[in-house]
Amino acid sequence: MNADLVLRNVTLPTGRSADIVVAGGIVRHVGAPVRADETIDCTGYTCLPGAIDMHVHMRGGMQAGKEDWRTGTTSAVAGGVTVVVDQPNTVPPLTTPELLRARIREAEERAVCGFAVNAGVVPGADLDGMWKAGAMAFGETFAAPSSYGEGLDEETLKELFANIHALGGVATVHAEEVSGRAPATLADHDRARSGEGEARAVRTISALAPAGLRLHFCHLSTAASVRAARGTVEVTPHHLFLSRENFDPDETRARVNPPLRDEVTRRNLWSCWDRIDVVASDHAPHTFQEKGVPFETAPSGIPGVETMVPLLMAAVQQGRITLASVIEKTSWRPAAILGIPRAGFEPGDRADYALYPDEITRIDASHLHAKCGWSPFEGLDAIFPQKVVVGGTRAYAHGDLREACAAWYPGQGYLSLQNK
């Protein structure tokens, strides 16, 4: 058998050790060793399938000063993420096939790993056209206003959900209620976008969505919201690992939507670990300058694609969660929801992997790759991958990007047309 790459001495989820033989970016054989152009010895490493971060804001275009596809996807790969799904609340928002295709072209020119792009969900958006042009999913759909996204009323949501259901797409939803004046502190922000309001919004959206709609709730921040959701549920590392008590009351770099909650709420969110389908970063970087203004006017959003899996891997090492659950929530379940071929350890699987050592380190923003240059997770325990394989190619090793391996993953609307 001719092979491009062999990963030797991989400890599989079953516990047995085997060699993984890769050709053409696909796993061809698992078991006895064969000769290959390149080998990677996985002895001493935990080998995970590459993660899919199904909620990122790669910026670029007019917002390239915050992040661009090159820096954002380099950050992803350095954190063990081999596919990112970009959200459509760009500037301008993605509402037509032409804008969607332009976004895809921008990513093809700059990205260094796999990527997909979602379609914007607003009145007048050409949902059918974007679905056929390759949109992976629809939204995040804003049921409340957030950065670069206007909230939609219930009647508008019902109409748009019906259209998405007719197309057979996944509707991803940002569910919140917003009240009160512009907040001056993290506590004010928590009250203005309360956990109770989030849970009410989740219940409302679950009730008004048509039966059979593939509904996915983004970045839920409380146990009550997770339990109220119909469909699949996504939670972020910042709601799992950070509370507002970790920061000064007016720290703008901790401002994010939904807000960081109090410590009790954060701990309670972990009680829903088994119900959570997906962990995604909601990577939404802003510059130091943009965050360095009074809290009332500071933008919401934080970087996180590079630290997402490393934080979870430290939790595995500390015995807080299982390795199997991390693989499921960061790789296999997102792939199943979106229809992306699965990365893994069986013949036919996508050959994306990240190799993690056992040593826990501390997050140091100066070592991260996002353009914004800061992290709200500074000082937290993490385990970063030392080697990352994307599409059967060693893309990253010991802190350095070796190969750019961009690959577009279109949605089912586009694939259906190609298969006719």
Which active-site residues does the annotation give?
Answer: 282
Question: Does the model's pTM come out above 0.85?
Answer: yes
Please check the confidence at residue 147 and state whether its pLDDT lies above 80. no
Q: Are 88 and 117 in contact (CB under 8 A)?
A: yes
Rounded distance between C-alpha atoms, residue 161 and residue 97, angstroms: 19
Please check the confidence at residue 141 and state whether its pLDDT lies above 90. yes
Please check the confidence at residue 38 and state whether its pLDDT lies above 90. yes
227-261 pLDDT per residue, tens: 999 999 999 999 999 999 999 999 999 999 999 99
Please check the confidence at residue 284 and state whether its pLDDT lies above 90. yes
CATH classification for the domain delimited by 5-46+346-412, as one of 2.30.40.10, 3.40.630.30, 3.40.50.720, 2.60.200.20: 2.30.40.10
Annotated ligand binding at 140? The verdict is yes
In the chain, where the domains are located: 5-46+346-412, 50-338
In 10 A of CB 288, how many CB atoms? 11
Annotated ligand binding at 55? The verdict is yes
Please check the confidence at residue 173 and state whether its pLDDT lies above 90. yes
In 10 A of CB 403, how many CB atoms? 14
Intra-chain end-to-end CA distance of the chain, in Å: 33
Annotated ligand binding at 216? The verdict is no
Average pLDDT over every residue of 58-62: 95
For residue 144, name the pLDDT band (cuts at 50, 70, 90): confident
> Which DSSP letter does residue 252 get?
G
354-371 pLDDT per residue, tens: 999 999 999 999 999 999
Annotated ligand binding at 165? The verdict is no
Rounded distance between C-alpha atoms, residue 305 and residue 308, angstroms: 6
- Max CA distance (Å), the chain: 66
Cis peptide before 259 (omega within 30 of 0): no
pLDDT value at residue 14: 84
CA triple 173-174-179, angle to 5 deg: 140
Dig out the tokens for 157 from the structure.
Answer: 């949501």
Please check the confidence at residue 26 and state whether its pLDDT lies above 70. yes
Please check the confidence at residue 411 and state whether its pLDDT lies above 70. yes
Please check the confidence at residue 212 and state whether its pLDDT lies above 90. yes
Strand partners of residue 283:
56, 302
Rounded distance between C-alpha atoms, residue 377 and residue 122, angstroms: 33
Average pLDDT over every residue of 338-342: 98
For residue 32, name the pLDDT band (cuts at 50, 70, 90): confident
Rounded distance between C-alpha atoms, residue 316 and residue 343, angstroms: 20
Please check the confidence at residue 9 and state whether its pLDDT lies above 70. yes
Annotated ligand binding at 358? The verdict is no
Task: Give the rounded distance of the alpha carbon of 269 from its chain centre.
Answer: 18
Going along 250-390, which residue ranges are E strands?
278-279, 353-356, 361-362, 381-382, 387-390
Separation in Å, CA 5 to CA 40, 344, 399, 406 = 8, 15, 21, 18
Please check the confidence at residue 297 and state whether its pLDDT lies above 70. yes
pLDDT value at residue 327: 98
Annotated ligand binding at 219? The verdict is yes
Dig out the tokens for 321 from the structure.
Answer: 């969660």
Annotate 319-335 with b (16+ C-beta within 10 A) or e (fewer): eebeeebbbbbbbbbbb
- Helical H segments across 134-261, by residue range: 154-167, 186-192, 195-208, 223-228, 237-241
Strand partners of residue 48:
354
pLDDT value at residue 143: 87
Annotated ligand binding at 268? The verdict is no
Average pLDDT, the chain: 96
Q: Are 168 and 136 in contact (CB under 8 A)?
A: no
Strand partners of residue 215:
171
Residues 6+ apart with CB under 8 A from 181: 192
Please check the confidence at residue 33 and state whether its pLDDT lies above 80. no
Give the architecture (CATH level 2) of 50-338: Alpha-Beta Barrel (3.20)
Burial class of residue 402 (count of CB atoms within 10 Å of its CB; 0-12, 13-18, 19+): middle
Annotated ligand binding at 286? The verdict is yes
For residue 35, name the pLDDT band (cuts at 50, 70, 90): confident
Please check the confidence at residue 148 and state whether its pLDDT lies above 70. no
Rounded distance between C-alpha atoms, residue 186 and residue 252, angstroms: 8
